[in-house]
Structure 1
């Protein structure tokens, strides 16, 4: 898809971004909305408010984030990225993330962080295989609601520092049944996988890949490495 990726500016573009955010996630409750004024504040105070516009000028993708710090590490936190259904799978998400990385570098950040649903296989593939991010923490019910488990990933803004998921042993991986779109679709499998993920992260392991072992369509393997190797 031929798109232009750039910072969004002005009330019309911020309003369009807030609308796309609600539409893609299916949010109808005002509590889950996003306001143009928040985007204005982020845009003018070191945050990222980036859009992907199609040839006709319509917004087909959007991401936003802000600067953050933890234990002395200054990083950029990517709160959300959305792509219109018609543009999904066309590389728009990758373009948005790299544009956001450029904003982060200008603020002095060396890493970018965000969370994702660890059971959603398309998201896992994008984060690990496409971008080369590293899962550094597991958040059970991250948003304080059932069904909102998340893995926090860190993305090194220097490509040389990114993790490679190649060359791992199945004996050291967490292997579980999987469908086409989600790992552990059955409740018992999901509960088991959740416990395994909690245990691996608690032991200081980092998640660097979620792959189909030997191309097996019925299973996925969560690849971990020691934290100091990520």
Structure 2
């Protein structure tokens, strides 16, 4: 594949990105779509609206916006999607790297996003490939009964290297999912809530039929 990642421009490309987003996630409800007009506004106002093209075909898309917490300016990545035909080819990494460049241009030193804490492939990408750190556990983030999320922070200067005491939590896992059994899921959820009171999550690894979550104690 010969992939080009660049800013998306014009109604046609913003609409194509919106269609790709709904297709990849399987959304058929109108309220779960992305307005092309929103993408236009983000692009014009310190946001990120990026696409990955294979030839003339849009095969990946991400978007985000500038945000502030406690005086820290960061870039929040709302979503990144890759077409099934391009998954596993490095498109996701290319999109994140391009989004990081956009974030740096606004003055941000970190980038944040959320992901499913039980999705092992996403965990590998976020922690092992990018070197991000999960700073919060957000139970039922979207208030729909099935949307636990981890909030990660990615240092745009360098990947995180643990410097403090680490503890671990283990749970059964299959090839793609940690704690697929409801009883195990409930136990892991309780552990995550407890651990994040005093620690950040820095790694998730699967060995055989078990996933290990490694937490670094915070200094507070």
TM-score, length basis structure 2: 0.97
Q: Specify every segment of 5 or more residues in structure 2 that has no aligned partner in the other structure, as ranges.
A: none
Aligned equivalents of 2:31, 2:19: Cα separation in 1: 14
Q: Hey, what does 1:153 align to over in structure 2?
A: 152
Aligned equivalents of 1:41, 1:218: Cα separation in 2: 46
State the shift of 1:164 in Å: 3.4
The 3-state SS of whatever aligns with 1:173 is: strand
Q: Hey, what does 2:212 align to over in structure 1?
A: 221
RMSD: 1.6
Aligned equivalents of 2:165, 2:52: Cα separation in 1: 36
Deviation sequence 1:94-127 (CA, Å, 0-9, x none): 0000000000000000000000000000000000
Higher relative strand content: 2
Q: State how 1:203-214 maps to structure 2 within 5 Å.
A: 204-212=198-206
Q: 1:49 touches 1:63 (CA, 8 Å); kept in 2?
A: yes
State the shift of 1:2 in Å: 1.5
Aligned equivalents of 2:2, 2:165: Cα separation in 1: 37
State the shift of 1:163 in Å: 1.6
State the shift of 1:228 in Å: 3.9
Q: 1:128 touches 1:165 (CA, 8 Å); kept in 2?
A: no
Deviation sequence 1:6-63 (CA, Å, 0-9, x none): 00011110010000000000000001010110000001111000000002x1100000
Q: State how 1:182-221 maps to structure 2 within 5 Å.
A: 182-202=177-197, 204-212=198-206, 216-221=207-212
Q: Hey, what does 2:52 align to over in structure 1?
A: 52
Q: Hey, what does 2:135 align to over in structure 1?
A: 136
1:164 and 2:161 matched: yes
Deviation sequence 1:107-158 (CA, Å, 0-9, x none): 0000000000000000000000000000000000001111100000000000
Q: 1:165 touches 1:223 (CA, 8 Å); kept in 2?
A: no
Q: 2:165 touches 2:217 (CA, 8 Å); kept in 1?
A: no
Deviation sequence 1:73-104 (CA, Å, 0-9, x none): 11000000000000000000000000000000
> CA 1:167–1:68 in 2, change beyond 3 Å: closer, same or farther?
closer
Aligned length: 220
1:28 and 2:28 matched: yes
Higher relative helix content: 1
TM-score, length basis structure 1: 0.92
Q: 1:184 touches 1:193 (CA, 8 Å); kept in 2?
A: yes
Deviation sequence 1:191-227 (CA, Å, 0-9, x none): 000000000001x200010012xxx310010000012
